[in-house]
Structure 1
Amino acid sequence: MTTVDVHAHVLLRDVEQAVAGRPELDAQRALDLRRNGAESTAVSGRMVGDRLARLTDVTVRLADMDAAGVDVQIVSPSPSHYHYWAEPELAGRVYRLANEGTAGHCAEAPGRLHGLGLVPLQHAGMAVQALDHALDLGLKGVEISSHAPGRELSDPALEPFWARAAERGAVLFLHPFGCTLDERLDRWYLSNIVGQPTENAVALSHLIFSGVLDRHPGLKIVAAHGGGYLPTHIGRADHGWHARPDTKGCAEPPSSYLRRLWFDSLVHDPGVLRHLVSVAGAGQVLLGSDHPFDMGSDDPLGDLRAAGLAPDDVDAIGGANAVALFSLKD
């Protein structure tokens, strides 16, 4: 079996150099500091510094993969590279540098590394050309956050982007960065521990309830962190859909859409992983590690096996599903 980790990141110096010195970047960092708190911001800075080689050096990445028993990684830019505050000219430079940098990183280990690029969600009119740029470089799709400032994933302005992604068979990796609950989560790293699964649930709910998945049934969307809180509380979404007329933006009960989405396995709990498989189906779950960040897992295969799933399900989640979804050679 080819083992595929679909959730791993690369840090791209060219992207950070492109935005350096911008006053908007300073404003964004001030907002992030307020949302995360000073203590968590400092801890995160040290953590990234300690893991810099694992985020940038292909030789180190491959050694990590070998140690974890991973044959192939799907590498996406660090979510810190979204820079959704950027105006159009700079946003265009950011996505081109991110796409080219990720493609170049993966080209150092052909067959073992495949990449995802970025699109500027804040400028919906640029999203299609950014997606095409990524795919034309040989990337498998793009990574997106749970929202952009002033724009939810249900925004009609994104309809051409969804249509193009479905048309070209691109994989869209939904990975939040930051949380809009702000200072309520500024201690104990709640901005990530609680914020990330919350953002996943909100973003997926926008996609489901707005009918995006009805209008674009060919979309290939992979939700990081097991889809956050939505799969474990999907019964509440179904109840609301049945009970209230204002929830009928989607054609079917929300739970039915979980089997049209894909989810990574990074849920940090064997019982939650079993539940995810039960509601989404083993065919919709993919191995994920969040390599090399501290909220990830250094042993994603061990975590998968700890869930006590059937051997066929372990094989599917461990790699077979990703081989099919990303059109890899097994």
Structure 2
Amino acid sequence: MTDHPSPTVDVHAHVLLPEVDALVTGHPGLTAARELDARRNGPASLAVSGPMVRERVPRLTDVTVRLAAMDAQGVDVQLVSPSPSHYHYWADEETAEKLYRLAGEATAAHCARAPDRLKGLGLVPLQHPDLAVRALEHALEQGLSGVEISSHAPGRELSDPAYEPFWARAGETGAIVFLHPFGCTLDERLDRWYLSNTVGQPTENAVALSHIVFSGVLDRHPDLKLIAAHGGGYLPTHIGRSDHAWSTRADAGAGCAHLPSSYLRRLYFDSLVHDPHVLRELVRAVGADRVLLGSDFPFDMGTEDPVGALRAARLPDADFHAVRGGNAAALLRKD
């Protein structure tokens, strides 16, 4: 462990769960989902992604390898979430229940190998809102800190009233909800040059957070502890447009009580924006107490040096240390 006044905490790190892959192998729903994924990403991106993931399997599965990589990065604690490829929102209710239970138990077992350094998150089958509370409670029963969700499920946005019991229970329990998109509904428009990720992920973040803000989820559930991956995508740095619409149009202002920008300070955001100027603007927009270190460990769209990326933003010393780990340490103590 490094000698800091507070630990360095990376809230955006993933684990690959072979048990989940084995559960869904051969299911016709998986075939259809992979065909959609192939169309969305395009052949050139798939040709790069396959070898990239295979090369990273040891870091995604072996705790000893993970800890060595963390030491090299100067990271003391990771909040580990399942790879978003494990969402499988196509799954029927019976399969989905098996999946979230298996994912939660496997993630908890991975983290139990180094409990002082690894905290974990489970999964919620957003395609079955009636299972959401049960999935959250199962994750907490495993000793996990909360759950990871995508930006939407087929036919459902995060503003859907069916998720109200989930938001309520997450707020009551103090569970962390990590919003991490997987796949973008712009589909084949983004099937070249890895636009499916570079444009798709921040777009999905912005859409999902806008649904949460404009529908009043945060008015009804002020205790919700939601962390948005990828710095919240485009929303925090373009929130002025949302404020203008809320102030100008009756339809835009109908669902939430306050200016959209005010809700940014009720959310948390990771630091993974790949640009020190954007990171400074994120801190300005949401507050230094709402930004948490994130690396997307160990994928290629992450950063190998999250602390160095944070240092490049040249934040005031107190803000640097808050983002480096102070904010996340406080949040994890409350989970």
With the length of structure 2 as denominator, give the TM-score of the two structures. 0.97
2:305 is matched with 299
Q: Hey, what's the Cα distance between the residues in 2 that align with 1:114 and 1:191?
A: 29
Q: Hey, what's the Cα distance between the residues in 2 that align with 1:221 and 1:87?
A: 26
1:143 is matched with 148
2:295 is matched with 289
1:224 is matched with 229
Q: In the alignment, which of 79, 94, 99 is matched to residue 74 of structure 1?
A: 79
Q: What do residues 246-275 of structure 1 show as CA deviations (whole Å, max 9, x unaligned)? A: 012110000000000000000000000000
1:1-330 to 2 correspondences below 5 Å? 1-248=6-253, 249-327=255-333
What root-mean-square deviation, in Å, do the aligned CA atoms of Structure 1 and Structure 2 show? 0.8
Q: Hey, what's the Cα distance between the residues in 1 that align with 2:261 and 2:192?
A: 33
Return the letter of the residue paired with 1:183: E
Q: Hey, what's the Cα distance between the residues in 1 that align with 2:33 and 2:100?
A: 18
Give the drift of 1:328.
7.2
Return the letter of the residue paired with 2:158: L
Which secondary structure does the structure 2 equivalent of 1:245 belong to?
coil
Give the drift of 1:42.
1.6
Q: Hey, what's the Cα distance between the residues in 1 that align with 2:242 and 2:115?
A: 42
Return the letter of the residue paired with 1:320: G
Return the letter of the residue paired with 2:259: P
What residue ranges of structure 1 are gaps of 5+ in the alignment?
none
With the length of structure 1 as denominator, give the TM-score of the two structures. 0.99
Q: What do residues 226-249 of structure 1 show as CA deviations (whole Å, max 9, x unaligned)? A: 000001100000000001000121
Contact 2:79 2:119 (C-alpha < 8 Å) held by counterparts: yes
Q: Hey, what's the Cα distance between the residues in 2 that align with 1:126 and 1:51?
A: 32
Return the letter of the residue paired with 2:87: Y
Contact 2:174 2:334 (C-alpha < 8 Å) held by counterparts: no
Aligned residue pairs, count: 329
Q: Hey, what's the Cα distance between the residues in 1 that align with 2:169 and 2:115?
A: 26
Which secondary structure does the structure 2 equivalent of 1:76 belong to?
strand
Q: Does the C-alpha gap of structure 1 residues 328 and 154 become closer, same or farther in structure 2, counting only changes over 3 Å?
A: closer
Return the letter of the residue paired with 2:56: R
Return the letter of the residue paired with 1:135: L
Q: What do residues 116-162 of structure 1 show as CA deviations (whole Å, max 9, x unaligned)? A: 00010000000000000000110000000000001100000000000
Q: Hey, what's the Cα distance between the residues in 1 that align with 2:331 and 2:212?
A: 20
2:3 is matched with none
Which secondary structure does the structure 2 equivalent of 1:5 belong to?
strand
Runs of 4+ in 1 over 3 A off after TM superposition: none
What residue ranges of structure 2 are gaps of 5+ in the alignment?
1-5
